[in-house]
Structure 1
Amino acid sequence: MRLKTPDWWYKRGGKGAPLTRYALAPLSWLWQGVTLFRQVTAKPYASPLFVISVGNATLGGSGKTPVEREILRRLRKLDLNAAGLSRGYGGSLTGPVKVDPATHTASDVGDEPLMLAADYDIYIARHRPDGLRLIENSDRQIVITDDTHQNVKIHKNLHILVVDGDTSDDAWPFGDGAVFPMGPMREPMKDALKRTDIVVLWLPNEQAPIDQKLLKCFGDLPVYAARLIPMPKSPPGPVFAFAAIAKPWKFKTTLTELGYNLLDFQPFADHEPVSEAVLTILCEKAEQRGARVITTEKDWVRLTPEWRARIDYLPITARFDDQGGFMRTLTEHLPD
């Protein structure tokens, strides 16, 4: 059973955190100790490919996947051959294998790789060096590696750190800075920033302001804002919605901002499979109310073809405030 993300993880100063969390301090210290040991003893594989890591300092929900897709799109426009490499979280295949949307399912390769593979060359490998070696046999020159900011098994040429920039309603992307399981951090922020070349702030809509206090956290690093741009396939109307993502409340907010009449919303843990029974109930309730059922694109790709025919999804894309500036900074790191 997957656990839902605690809301207080992402509240400024850990507001609302239960006192019992401090009982987890020894586990947090152990987590940090193991991380440090892996970093000190690491012998990363250095691929001849140019490896761009897109990761984060927290556990999930920072906007990595739409940012990765936008980078792949922009590199293609520049006629640069790029592929994506993922661990394939949630899939049964260990890889290395190239994702084929015609034959693979989310239960094989994971939801995010399957979603991206509809438009780009995406590979999965539980052991990332094996994935890089497979891609080396193709004509790809650049690899976008998903969620590898803390991965010590491969050498990265460029580190892009994606940070949730939404600080509305007293939200703060790092909570009180506590490391898992006491808080959302995979490692102390100062350690994550030491390896960072570019910071991307992920904002929930076109109007969201950039928090100047948050910007100061990144010192002299180049920071670029990327915004969630929803692309509804049909006009908003009455819906029953569900989401199994790290921060499901953000999907609920997006639907509300778009003008959907949200009759019911069901949140689930990140990557949690939604049962046939739950889907049946949602669809029956929607039919009774003359409504539709809608979910995220990531959740939609996990559904069977039969359920996909009955359930809508909300496509989103990432749009940089300074697209030209971001790509100039990125390409400056590429070899001649």
Structure 2
Amino acid sequence: MARRAPAFWFRPAGMAATALRPLGAIYAAATARRLARGARARVGVPVLCVGNLNAGGTGKTPVVIAIVQRLLAPGVAVQVVSRGYGGTVTGPLRVDERVHTAAEVGDEPLLLSAFAPVWVSDDRVQGARAAARSGAQVIILDDGFQDPSLHHDLSLVVVDAARGFGNGLCLPAGPLREPVAVGLARADLLLSVGPPQAQAQFQAPPGIPHLRAALQPLKMGHDWTGERILAFAGIGHPEKFFATLRDLGANLVRAEALEDHQTFSPQLLTRLEAEARAYSAQMVTTEKDAVRLPPSFRRKVLTLPVRLQLDDWTVLDAALLRVLAS
């Protein structure tokens, strides 16, 4: 289970961050050594990496879905390769949403498999080769920006506009897997995700094309206005999900922020259902959380899907065309 990010990661460096700064420097040096290993493998198919510099919670999965849908529209055979965080399968294995569970392949691959073929593999090169053999014209690497094994034809770094790069320090002193300047020097595009007010405050580092996008709830014909809701979410930043429900007019009588990728134990599900009944509230969760729920419980819970809306697709479309032509 991934722990929630400490609050001091997103404040100006205080005592806790200062005390951990030497460990952050060691972490950054270890990442740099790993990235310096040898030549990266090519698999004969263009690879687009959607990654981040922060540890979790940047909105990467909706970005992957948006790019998949953008490529599928003109008939491009796109497939996704993921490490399958939280799953037990080492792969390479093609995910089948009718057969596999989140415990086996991870919640993100299971969610993504509803949009395009997804391969789970601890070894990203082997996963990419499996996708290429199965007919992929382009491969989207879900995460893996700091993995040194596979060549990237295009690297897109995703950041939460509200949180930015936090205090600018590396783990465990801050949220970063590597220093911002070092990571963005390898990236082709930077995409900040968040509402206009967050975008206005986010300062993109110079020297890299900067795209902006926001997560918008899908219009499902459901009127949330005034509905009593018990919301629960085990994602990187649950508060964003709760804020979306409030913006839709829902009455959140209970908001349960879980750990990222948290397993739904029988005890937890029993408690959530009992609390919903006591509050006379409808249970609601995210798409990513819903795929981890047991089928019998999932029927009791509404899901609020969100999709990424880019301010302008021009730069990304041009980059995708270059990748497909490579």
TM range (shorter): over 0.9
What is the rounded CA distance, in whole Å, between the counterparts of 1:20 and 1:229 in structure 2?
A: 35
User: 2:211 is aligned with what amino acid?
Assistant: Y
**1:76-126, Cα deviation, whole Å (9 max, x unpaired):** 112211101100000000000110001100001000000010121111101
Aligned to 1:214: 203
- The yes-or-no answer on 1:48 pairing with 2:57 is no
Q: In the alignment, which of 58, 74, 77 is matched to residue 78 of structure 1?
A: 74
What is the rounded CA distance, in whole Å, between the counterparts of 2:134 and 2:71 in structure 1?
A: 17
Q: In the alignment, which of 216, 223, 226 is matched to residue 235 of structure 1?
A: 223
Aligned to 2:286: 296
- 8 Å CA contact 2:21–2:169 kept in 1: the answer is no
Cα distance, 1:66 vs structure 2? 0.3
- 8 Å CA contact 1:175–1:184 kept in 2: the answer is yes
User: 2:46 is aligned with what amino acid?
Assistant: F
What is the rounded CA distance, in whole Å, between the counterparts of 1:108 and 1:39 in structure 2?
A: 29
What is the CA RMSD across the aligned residues, in angstroms? 1.7
Q: In the alignment, which of 156, 160, 172 is matched to residue 160 of structure 1?
A: 156
What is the rounded CA distance, in whole Å, between the counterparts of 2:32 and 2:279 in structure 1?
A: 54
Aligned to 2:6: 6
What is the rounded CA distance, in whole Å, between the counterparts of 1:36 and 1:326 in structure 2?
A: 28
User: 2:29 is aligned with what amino acid?
Assistant: G
**1:14-47, Cα deviation, whole Å (9 max, x unpaired):** 4xx5x23433233222212211211222332111
Aligned to 1:271: 261
Aligned to 2:166: 175
User: 2:203 is aligned with what amino acid?
Assistant: L
Structure 1 unaligned runs (5+)?
A: 167-171
- 8 Å CA contact 1:58–1:184 kept in 2: the answer is yes
Q: What secondary structure is seen at the aligned counterpart in 1 of 2:36? A: helix
Cα distance, 1:208 vs structure 2? 3.6
**1:213-252, Cα deviation, whole Å (9 max, x unpaired):** 613x1x2322211110112542211111111111112212
What is the rounded CA distance, in whole Å, between the counterparts of 1:281 and 1:263 in structure 2?
A: 15
User: 2:148 is aligned with what amino acid?
Assistant: V
Q: If the length of structure 2 is used for normalisation, what is the TM-score?
A: 0.94
Q: In the alignment, which of 209, 212, 221 is matched to residue 225 of structure 1?
A: 212
- 8 Å CA contact 1:232–1:314 kept in 2: the answer is no
- 8 Å CA contact 2:168–2:180 kept in 1: the answer is yes
What is the rounded CA distance, in whole Å, between the counterparts of 1:2 and 1:330 in structure 2?
A: 32
Aligned to 1:169: none
User: Larger deviation: 242-251 or 320-329?
Assistant: 320-329
Distance 1:88 1:209, change over 3 A: closer
Q: What secondary structure is seen at the aligned counterpart in 2 of 1:307? A: helix
What is the rounded CA distance, in whole Å, between the counterparts of 1:127 and 1:250 in structure 2?
A: 32
Instruction: Provide the identity percentage.
Output: 35
Distance 1:26 1:131, change over 3 A: same
User: Larger deviation: 286-295 or 134-143?
Assistant: 286-295
Aligned to 2:62: 66
Q: What secondary structure is seen at the aligned counterpart in 2 of 1:240? A: strand
Q: How many residue pairs were aligned?
A: 323
- 8 Å CA contact 1:32–1:187 kept in 2: the answer is yes
**1:295-326, Cα deviation, whole Å (9 max, x unpaired):** 11101100110111111111010111112443
User: 1:186 is aligned with what amino acid?
Assistant: R
Aligned to 1:254: 244
- The yes-or-no answer on 1:319 pairing with 2:309 is yes
What is the rounded CA distance, in whole Å, between the counterparts of 2:202 and 2:297 in structure 1?
A: 44
User: Larger deviation: 232-241 or 179-188?
Assistant: 232-241
Aligned to 1:88: 84
Q: If the length of structure 1 is used for normalisation, what is the TM-score?
A: 0.91
